[in-house]
Amino acid sequence: DAKTTQPPSMDCAEGRAANLPCNHSTISGNEYVYWYRQIHSQGPQYIIHGLKNNETNEMASLIITEDRKSSTLILPHATLRDTAVYYCIVSGANAGGTSYGKLTFGQGTILTVHP
C-alpha cells in the first residue's frame, strides 16, 4: 500500500472547520483513500473514504486532488469530541485480492479541538 504523510499535530477552535491534510504521492490507480480516527484508546472509527471524487457524509468531507497525490479531510464544525488521532490510509485490493481490510496505520495527526 502507498505511504501517507500527515502533520503530527493540529489545533482547531471549537465550531470552526478542521482541515486535515494528507500526502499520498505514490498512490496507485486502484487504491482508495480512507480516513479513520481513534479517540483516546478506543478502536479506530471509520470516517470516510474515496477513490477520486470528493465525498461527503454526515461526519466529514473528503477532498481528493485531481492527480490523487493528496487529500484533505474536512470536519465542518469541529467539537471538543472530535479531539482524536486522525489516520489517512491508502489501501486497495492487490492482484490476489487478499489485502482487503489490511490497513497500514501511520502515526496520524493528533487533532486538538479547544474551546
Partner 1 sequence: EPEVTQTPSHQVTQMGQEVILRCVPISNHLYFYWYRQILGQKVEFLVSFYNNEISEKSEIFDDQFSVERPDGSNFTLKIRSTKLEDSAMYFCASLGTDLNEKLFFGSGTQLSVL
Is 49 a residue that touches partner 1 (CB under 8 A)? yes
Is 97 a residue that touches partner 1 (CB under 8 A)? yes
Question: Of the ranges 10-18, 19-27, 38-46, 65-73, which one interacts with partner 1 (CB under 8 A)?
Answer: 38-46
Closest residue by Cα to residue 47 from 114, 111, 97 = 111
Question: Of the ranges 4-12, 14-22, 59-67, 91-99, which one interacts with partner 1 (CB under 8 A)?
Answer: 91-99
String of contacts with partner 1 for each residue 70-89, x by CB under 8 A? -----------------x--
Q: For residue 100, give the DSSP letter.
A: T
CA distance 81 to 45: 13
String of contacts with partner 1 for each residue 15-34, x by CB under 8 A? -----------------x-x
Residues within the interface to partner 1 (CB under 8 A): 32, 34, 36, 38, 41-46, 49, 87, 92-93, 97-107
